[in-house]
Amino acid sequence: MFFKKKVELDMSNIPRHIAIIMDGNGRWAQKRGLSRTMGHREGSRTLKKIVEACYNLGVKYLTVYAFSTENWSRPKQEVDDLMNLILEYLLNAEKELKGKNVRIRVIGDRKRLPERIQKEIERVESNTRHIQGLDFVIALNYGGRQEIIDAVSCLVEDVKAGKLCEVNEQAIAERLYTHEIPDPDLLIRTSGEMRLSNFLLWQCCYTEFYFSKALWPDFDEACLREAILSYQGRQRRFGGVKC
């Protein structure tokens, strides 16, 4: 039997904000002759473990891509199953967190989500709003381009109303879904795919990327530590020069 050696990390250089594109549930299920829904359910179990791992490592913000604006084009049964899983997660969120200091936020356009999910989002956000520890951000019906369009539309209205005199980066950032959340330091995408898929397009301009070959249900704390170790080995210059 082989055991993975635990990766030793520099605890003084843990990413403040980690974003994850959770990819590979369907392929994981297909390899095992299971339904895609079973893959998504297994992926949900993985998510719970990764939230706990990030909490224990002292990560302050974790943002996960749970359902994109493009995911509506999937077969209706798969979409319905995903919505049921999301609802189940929200209903049990506080119980699953076992008293940990985790605040839950949801970003994206909620209007198209089922009414019961919208109500659960409001309930969970309200119940955890006061908590300081890990901010767990769930992107639901989220699209990076739509987020920017919404921000620009808000800018136009504010200019017309005389509330804004100058359009700059700060003015746009303040109107994004993530206006209270710092930009990601590290973005992880699983399953070997190497693209952003319309996720946090504005926010990731200086984010470090890490692409894992592991399918999301197989992604564990050891994989997370490998991603953070890779991050810790990089020099972040933000367009400048470091000697």
Q: 92 pairs with which residues across the strands?
A: none
Mode of pairing for the β-strands spanning 186-189 and 102-107: unpaired
- 71 is a catalytic site residue: yes
CA pseudo-torsion sign 73, 78, 84, 89:
negative
- 183 is a catalytic site residue: no
User: What strands, in cross-sheet order, belong to the sheet with 186-189?
Assistant: 102-107, 134-142, 61-68, 17-21, 186-189, 208-211
Q: Rounded to whole angstroms, how far apart are CA atoms 21 and 62?
A: 11
**240 is written with which tokens?**
């400048």
> b vs e for 80-117, b when ≥16 Cβ sit within 10 Å of the residue's Cβ?
ebbbebbbebbeebbeebeeeebbbbbbbeeeebeeeb
From the list 25, 56, 71, 135, the catalytic residue is 71
Q: Catalytic residue numbers?
A: 23, 71
